[in-house]
Structure 1
Amino acid sequence: MPLARIDLVKGKSAEYRHTIGDVLYDAMINTLNVPKDDRFQIITEHADSDFAADATYLGVHRTRDCVIIQVTLNQGRTLEVKKAFYKAVADGLHARLGLRREDVFISLVEVAKENWSFGNGEAQYA
């Protein structure tokens, strides 16, 4: 049920981008209790001039390697679960790609279950 949008500056290899998706998917399964085979991801590269991530907002020092991840998912997870998810993604990207934890920006968008259609014009979760 989650839909992940992953945005980054152009220039990374297909393998690098695919690894971001793998890490994100693994963290969803292990912390958010997402079922296996529930992988919907859109990875988009942007020209440097079309990608803005403030370099110091809230005292976090970001570089041009910053990755912005937005996940739309069903509402209802606890703060502890969300924190575990953020940490799993940042730690996983650091371990697998050497990406600085400071360069991992995550936004969760929670929606009610009836706001999904997975095909056939049906609201499968309603």
Structure 2
Amino acid sequence: MPLIHVSLRAGKPEAYREAILDSLYRALREALNVPEDDQFMTISEHAPGNFRHGTAYGVQRGDDLVYITITVFNTRTPEQKKALFRRIADLLGESPGIRPEDVFVVIADAPKENWSVGHGLQFA
């Protein structure tokens, strides 16, 4: 039950944004074995003056940088997370063609009791 939010500079066409979401969904299915149609994702676009990055950690990022925040149950192993990072970078490279240097991912763990996925009910 991952919840994904993507931030990027404004101006990319709809097909580009859809390719990001499609690639992320595929990575989740392959690396974390999420259920079919488990697609809870949003994209926010930002004007250049509202979107900043640097070259910290020895990475030469460019204007196609995407920030990806993924909230998941706290049951994912470090190995699963590593596999997900790699698969996201690979798939976004294939479609829509984002360089690996421009893929910035953060995974936030949350216990299942912190989730309500509908009807105001706690996830069981």
| Residues 89-125 of structure 1, C-alpha deviations (whole Å, 9 max, x = no match) | 1110111122110000000000000111111110132
Aligned mates of 1:120, 1:46 — CA distance in 2: 32
Amino acid aligned to 2:91: G
Shift, 1:77, TM fit: 1.6
Mapped pair 1:118 → 2:117: yes
Q: Which runs of 5+ in 1 are unaligned?
A: none
- 2:45 maps to what in 1? 45
Structure 2 SS opposite 1:90 = helix
**TM-score normalised to the size of structure 1?**
0.95
> What value does the CA root-mean-square deviation take over the aligned residues?
0.8
Runs of 4+ residues deviating >4 angstroms: none
Q: Secondary structure at the match of 1:91?
A: helix
Report the residue type matching 1:96 in the other structure: S
Give the letter for the 2:79 counterpart: E
TM-score by length of 2: 0.96
State the match for 1:81 in structure 2. 80
Shift of 1:49: 0.5
Give the gaps of 5 or more residues in structure 2. Answer: none
1:1-126 alignment, distance < 5 Å: 1-54=1-54, 56-125=55-124
Identity %: 44
1:19 shift after superposition: 0.6
SS in 2 for 1:36: coil
Distance across 2 between alignment mates of 1:118 and 1:77: 19
* Structure 2 counterpart SS, 1:98: coil
2:45 corresponds to which letter in structure 1? E
